[in-house]
Amino acid sequence: MEKQYVEKRDKGCFITGTRISLDSVVLAFLDGLSPETIASEGFPVLTLKQIYGAITFYQNHQDKIDDYLKQAEAEFTVLRQKTNEPSFTQKITNMD
């Protein structure tokens, strides 16, 4: 039986048995970090097997995951723009 390195839960994908999102590992990989660097500097709680498993999962589902990452980036951009609106900023600064 093949080991599953990625699980879907809470509307996202995570490294099985952890709270580390697949997004985090994939984005580090896409930024050019090696699996060894991702393990040692980014997520020392993950094994190399878990990281390679996550990258393999990404490569096997690349189109869907790339679309998901683009959508998440667009949603983040909208949220960032909303939080930079003067009315929102004024509400926060007037809470004192």
What are the E-state strand segments in the chain?
A: 6-9, 12-15
- The whole-number pLDDT of residue 82 equals 77
Fold classification of 1-60 is Arc Repressor Mutant, subunit A (1.10.10)
> Which residue from 56, 66, 21, 61 is spatially nearest to 42, judged by alpha carbons?
21
DSSP conformational letter for 25: H
pLDDT digits (tens, 9 = 90+) for 58-94: 999 999 999 989 988 888 888 878 777 666 556 666 7
Place of tokens 């984005």: 27
- Position 96 confidence tier, pLDDT thresholds 50, 70, 90: low
Place of tokens 């589902």: 61
Tell me if 57 sits within 8 A of 6, measured CB to CB: yes
DSSP-derived 3-state class of residue 82: helix
Q: Domain boundaries in the chain?
A: 1-60, 63-96
